[in-house]
Structure 1
Amino acid sequence: MKPTFVQWGGGNIGRSFIGQVFSRSGYHVTFIDIDSKLVETLNEHKHYVVEAVSRDGLERLQVEDVSALHADWHKEVESAITDADLMGVSVGKNVWPHIARQLAHAILVRHKRRPDSPLDIILAENIHHGAAFVTQLLIPYLPKHFPLSSYVGLVETSIGKMVPIQKAHTPLVLRAEPYNELIVDKKGFHNPIPDVADLHPVHPIAAYVDRKLFIHNLGHATAAYIGFKAHPEQQSIAQVLEDPSVFMQVRKTMIQSMEILLHIYPKVFTRKELERHIDDLLMRFGNRALADTVFRVGRDLRRKLRYDDRLMGIIIRAQEIGMAWDRIGQAYLAAMEFIALDEEGNPFKSDVELIDELEGLPLYEAICLASSWSESDLPDQLCHTIAQACALIPRYTNGH
């Protein structure tokens, strides 16, 4: 009998990455989702296809033996989690508070029926300190002395797979890049780490979460912001990276962030492996077949310009340890003027509102507002110092 993997969240990452990886390693995968059409379609067909697109062409990966439950089917969800051999969740940080009560109740039911079978949950999210975040959400819905830390293994991950906006009109076909490396916290499991081909256990996971945010996400966003500034008429990330000036600016920005990470994690990464990682990412960013857009990669400025996100997050660390961050600052300044349009010619509404709010403000006030500095516990003087340094950074122009 096949082992069962329960995947809460049947979105792009849930199906094209997590569900696919475990299905291909011999698991029956049961998805939990709120999308009625998705649930109905998966239960009718019992399979779906991931189109892995690269410069080498298209490979169709058939994901077999899957089923689905609607999140509103509480008893069925409880039973699935009770019987699961392993579980994953990929719903996004903002949705977690809405599933915490139901997940906690399902964990309670499992504990009553199978007290000697701890449950490992792969947190397929890019969330700093994800296990602590989820623990704080679950605790209010569990009895006071419930053994959460010993019964549930909250396994943090670093999710690097790129999945563009889907154009297919059926839940049975998704398009994604071929990359399938699922980096997990080797210390997070209570049960033996499963023998899954694409699973890569690491320690410390925090270093790899930072690598994802401050090299991968930073580089991708930089390509969008610098690429838009240089070529506002181009829609795809691959297209703007074909400009050698943009490509080199993005690479140098990623290298600058790499130097900061090497200082923070001297015993985890080597310069050689991080440079190889950067060059692999740039090749993946340049995947024309993926058709990823400047709009998608750069949009949502209120999140991406925050003090704890891909650009300002590493600027703050660099400033605190006295390292250079001028190239990253140049990308941040370009982001503050980012007004790319989607394929229908529409801007991202929240971004337009933010750009309007920044209009006419002194640079210090604009940076503090864009970064949501007031929501942090960081000193105002640090924002002021960063803004003063930004004022000395030349704005990016094509060729510089």
Structure 2
Amino acid sequence: MNERKIVIFGAGKIGRSFIGQVFNLSGYEVVFVDINKQLVDLINQQKQYRIVIKNGEEDELLIIRNIKGIYLDEEEQLMSELNNTKIMSLSVGQQGVGTVIPLLARLLVVRREKYGDVPLDIIIAENIRNADRLIRKELEKQLPPDYPLEKLVGLVETSIGKMVPIMTQKDIEEDPLQVFAESYNSLIVAKNGFKNPIPDIPFLAPKENIKAWVDRKLFIHNLGHAATAYLGFKKYPDAVYICEVLEDQELLDTVRQTMLQSAEILRSLYPEEFTLTQLKEHIDDLICRFRNKSLKDTLFRVGCDLYRKLGPEDRLAAPVHAAVRLGKPYHLILNAIIAGISFRAKDENGNYFPSDRLFFEEAVRGPRYILENVCKIRWESGKVGRKN
């Protein structure tokens, strides 16, 4: 069994720019699995790809080698690769998880038949709250009743903080495999999720209380990003970039105060994990990263997909629900949600995110309707509560 190989389901931006990079630069062979046959063919033809690091000054270029690709339907080849490793990663997006899990369950059964009780660790590189519970629940549906899931599968939650912007069509045509990203590379993982020894590699940051760190990403990073997009679009509807709207000092201060309000909520949830000083430093670092002009992160990318991003367990509504339970202030976060309901940014081709068109049709019923039916926030006589 190859101790220095990782199989990555999902050869998208996070798979290539983050998980693939972190492990490849630590001497791992990287096997990408994807449903996009053209992408898989390119990986196998070129046997390398470029990561362009946008660090605010001159771009830095990384070449990732020792890679191969497998098409998702090539089950026999995939089985051979997965049988020969102790670690894999999922980076397919929330919708893709449902497609991959039945296949993964079949592979786990064959793996056990061939190698016996050798554990496989799965790094869940998805921005999904309680991702380990979701994956476990779906695997339990697909695996035989006598399969010892708790013993043989390590479900390793992560907090993915790396920003990977949308690339222009011109950039993609220039090199379909290249990916742009910031220099941030800290991969926060659940220390207790591993069944095998934790890989001793740079950039890996194991945490005892991963739930706190997942919520830190959601309540501060994701919230601050969304607040910037929604408040920025409200004030500057013709703006394109996140860094552009943050040139407005008043807007920047409002975003920072909104993030600080959420930080107070987070600290109340996890008083033993974070100090206010630590969270303030994290917020200032994030704002500095948001303002990175070379990253060219767009309002559209950060703010689109409104059903998900305004959903009850996501970046803005989840902190409000927690604030209601804890009796903490949330008015600034609520203001960002209201701005989000009116968010209408388009991509470089003048198109809305597909499902956002349906959201717009519902939004004509007014903010209260969205708060109650999308965010699951009950609004009674000016007071906010959780809608059951």
CA distance in 2, matches of 1:45, 1:297: 31
Aligned to 2:311: 306
Aligned to 2:51: 50
**Distance of aligned partners of 1:2 and 1:171 in 2 relative to their CA distance in 1, 3 Å threshold:** farther
Tell me whether 1:148 sits opposite 2:149 in the alignment: yes
Q: Is the 8 A contact 2:3 2:85 kept in 1?
A: no
Return the offset for 1:85: 3.1
| 1:9-48 to 2 correspondences below 5 Å | 9-48=10-49
Tell me whether 1:227 sits opposite 2:227 in the alignment: no
2:191 pairs with one of 182, 186, 189: 186
**Distance of aligned partners of 1:116 and 1:57 in 2 relative to their CA distance in 1, 3 Å threshold:** same
Q: Is the 8 A contact 2:86 2:120 kept in 1?
A: yes
Counterpart residue identity of residue 74, structure 1: E
Counterpart residue identity of residue 319, structure 2: I
CA distance in 1, matches of 2:3, 2:138: 31
Q: Is the 8 A contact 1:122 1:156 kept in 2?
A: yes
Q: Is the 8 A contact 2:56 2:295 kept in 1?
A: no
Counterpart residue identity of residue 151, structure 1: L
Aligned to 2:352: 347
CA distance in 1, matches of 2:90, 2:365: 43
1:271 pairs with one of 271, 276, 283: 276
Return the offset for 1:351: 2.4
Aligned to 2:159: 158
Q: Is the 8 A contact 1:2 1:26 kept in 2?
A: no
Return the offset for 1:2: 6.9
Return the offset for 1:349: 4.1
CA distance in 1, matches of 2:350, 2:114: 54
Counterpart residue identity of residue 292, structure 2: N
Aligned to 1:315: 320
Aligned to 2:133: 132
Aligned to 1:397: none
Aligned to 1:388: 382
CA distance in 2, matches of 1:243, 1:384: 32
Q: Is the 8 A contact 2:6 2:23 kept in 1?
A: yes
Q: What SS does structure 2 have at the residue aligned with 1:333?
A: helix
What number of residue pairs does the alignment pair up? 379
**RMSD of aligned C-alpha atoms?**
1.5
Return the offset for 1:94: 1.4
CA distance in 2, matches of 1:79, 1:360: 53
TM-score by length of 1: 0.92
CA distance in 1, matches of 2:343, 2:289: 23
Return the offset for 1:260: 0.5
**Distance of aligned partners of 1:355 and 1:388 in 2 relative to their CA distance in 1, 3 Å threshold:** farther
CA deviation map 1:351-372 (0-9, x unaligned): 24323322244x533421232x
Q: What SS does structure 1 have at the residue aligned with 2:123?
A: strand
Return the offset for 1:389: 3.9
CA distance in 1, matches of 2:87, 2:137: 21
1:365 pairs with one of 352, 366, 369: 369
Aligned to 1:378: none
| 1:152-301 to 2 correspondences below 5 Å | 152-167=153-168, 168-169=172-173, 170-301=175-306
Q: Is the 8 A contact 1:48 1:171 kept in 2?
A: no
TM-score by length of 2: 0.94
Identity across aligned pairs (percent)? 43
Q: Is the 8 A contact 1:236 1:292 kept in 2?
A: yes
Q: Is the 8 A contact 2:86 2:119 kept in 1?
A: no
CA distance in 2, matches of 1:357, 1:184: 38
Aligned to 1:356: 361
User: Which runs of 5 or more structure 2 residues have no equivalent in the other structure?
Assistant: none
Aligned to 1:331: 336
Q: What SS does structure 2 have at the residue aligned with 1:330?
A: helix
